[in-house]
């Protein structure tokens, strides 16, 4: 069996896809794991069929793959990459975790989670610094500012006061002019939960603690994890949030707030090395095993 790991970066920048873990698990399972880097693909039509030239290597035929697992390690507008996934599907390749557009767009994500009634911190989206300031005042400082496209904690800003808030939104307005998300800050002693959902079931979970001097608990930027037992409400909430985006593989980030668990993000490219260390679960092998038996 041959499984491709579709990575949306050049080879020198593919560490966040954690293909090395899939390769190790693949060797143990007797599966051939191949990295496929989107920037090195050529996609064209021939006789009204989609053809994909894979990594410039004619000996590597896309049709040789039994499945392709998407690891969307990018921070751009998702439509710039969704076409590649669709090209694989149109070529007859089974794609795992290909429904990434809504989850990778944090603006859309906030709307969708609210539409289905998933509890979140109070939030608002605005464009101009003036409207953003009015929004922040209505929510109440401190607040958290988030860009539309970010990953691994990049693009998340903590603003305890108006004085710290204004330079952030002024810069974001100049930088790209995209809308900015303003969220209520929930005091949780710099902790959150990362819940790894595989095919609609909880595979593993940990509590993450931010490094000193930071509010972001992402382990990729210095946060640390410990094993945690989820409550029934937290379990149900994580599964519900994952189901909203129809993702086979996702990470759901949850805050334990005074008013109950609140979802802060659904991640379509969840890292799992720290989660494996904390829980002892071989997540890469679990994913590959699920692909084999689907």
Residue 108 lies in a domain: no
pTM of the model: 0.93
Per-residue pLDDT tens over the stretch 126-181: 999 999 999 999 999 999 999 988 776 678 999 999 999 999 999 988 887 889 99
Cα(93)–Cα(90) distance, rounded to whole angstroms?
7
Residue 104 lies in a domain: no
pLDDT at 205 > cutoff 80: yes
State whether 223 and 176 are in the same domain: no
Residue 294 lies in a domain: no
Task: Look up tokens 């595989």; give the residue.
Answer: 198
pLDDT at 108 > cutoff 90: yes
Count: domains in the chain: 3
**What CATH number is given to the structural domain containing 73?**
3.40.50.20
Helix 19-29 × helix 283-293 angle, to 10°: 60
pLDDT at 16: 86
For the chain, give the mean pLDDT: 92
Task: Look up tokens 């305890």; give the residue.
Answer: 160
Per-residue pLDDT tens over the stretch 16-58: 889 999 999 999 999 999 999 999 998 888 777 888 887 666 6
Residue 90 lies in a domain: yes
The domain boundary residue, chosen from 166, 184, 202: 184
Q: Confirm if 239 and 197 have CB atoms less than 8 A apart.
A: yes
Q: Note down the domain range covering 252.
A: 191-281
State whether 140 and 200 are in the same domain: no
Helix 129-139 × helix 162-175 angle, to 10°: 140
State whether 160 and 82 are in the same domain: no
Residue 239 lies in a domain: yes
Q: Which two tokens stand for residue 44?
A: 């064209």
Q: Which two tokens stand for residue 89?
A: 């599907």
State whether 26 and 89 are in the same domain: yes
State whether 168 and 249 are in the same domain: no
* For the chain, percent of residues with pLDDT exceeding 70: 97
Mean pLDDT, rounded, for 181-209: 95
The domain boundary residue, chosen from 168, 184, 200: 184
Cα(21)–Cα(7) distance, rounded to whole angstroms?
14
SS3 at position 172: helix
State whether 269 and 207 are in the same domain: yes
State whether 92 and 139 are in the same domain: no
Residue 288 lies in a domain: no
Q: Confirm if 96 and 291 have CB atoms less than 8 A apart.
A: yes
**What CATH number is given to the structural domain containing 257?**
3.30.470.20
Contacts 24+ apart (CB under 8 A), 152-161: 152/16, 152/218, 152/220, 152/221, 152/271, 153/216, 153/218, 153/220, 153/221, 154/75, 155/75, 156/215, 156/216, 158/185, 158/215
């Amino acid at each position: 069996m041959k499984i491709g790991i579709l990575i949306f970066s050049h080879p020198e920048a593919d560490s966040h896809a954690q293909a090395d873990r899939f390769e190790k698990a693949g060797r143990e399972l007797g599966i051939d794991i191949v990295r496929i880097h989107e920037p090195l693909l050529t996609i064209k039509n021939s006789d009204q069929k989609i053809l994909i030239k894979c990594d410039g290597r004619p000996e590597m035929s896309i049709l040789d793959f039994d499945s392709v697992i998407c690891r969307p390690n990018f921070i751009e507008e998702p439509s710039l990459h969704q076409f590649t996934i669709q090209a694989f599907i149109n070529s007859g390749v089974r794609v795992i975790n290909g429904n990434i557009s809504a989850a990778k767009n944090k603006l859309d994500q906030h709307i969708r989670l609210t539409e289905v009634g998933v509890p979140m911190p109070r939030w608002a989206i605005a464009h101009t610094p003036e409207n953003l300031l009015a929004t922040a005042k209505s929510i109440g400082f401190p607040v958290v500012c988030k860009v539309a496209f970010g990953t691994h904690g990049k693009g998340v800003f903590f603003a305890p006061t108006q004085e710290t808030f204004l330079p952030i939104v002024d810069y974001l307005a100049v930088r790209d002019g995209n809308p900015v998300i303003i969220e209520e800050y929930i005091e949780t002693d710099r902790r959150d939960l990362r819940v790894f959902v595989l095919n609609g079931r909880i595979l593993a979970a940990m509590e993450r603690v931010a490094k000193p001097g930071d509010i972001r608990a992402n382990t990729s930027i210095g946060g640390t994890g410990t094993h945690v037992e989820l409550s029934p409400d937290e379990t149900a909430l994580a599964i519900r949030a994952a189901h909203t985006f129809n993702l086979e593989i996702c990470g759901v980030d949850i805050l334990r707030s005074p008013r109950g668990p609140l979802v802060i993000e659904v991640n379509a490219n969840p890292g799992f090395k720290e989660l494996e260390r904390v829980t002892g679960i071989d997540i890469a092998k679990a994913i590959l095993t699920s692909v084999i038996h689907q």
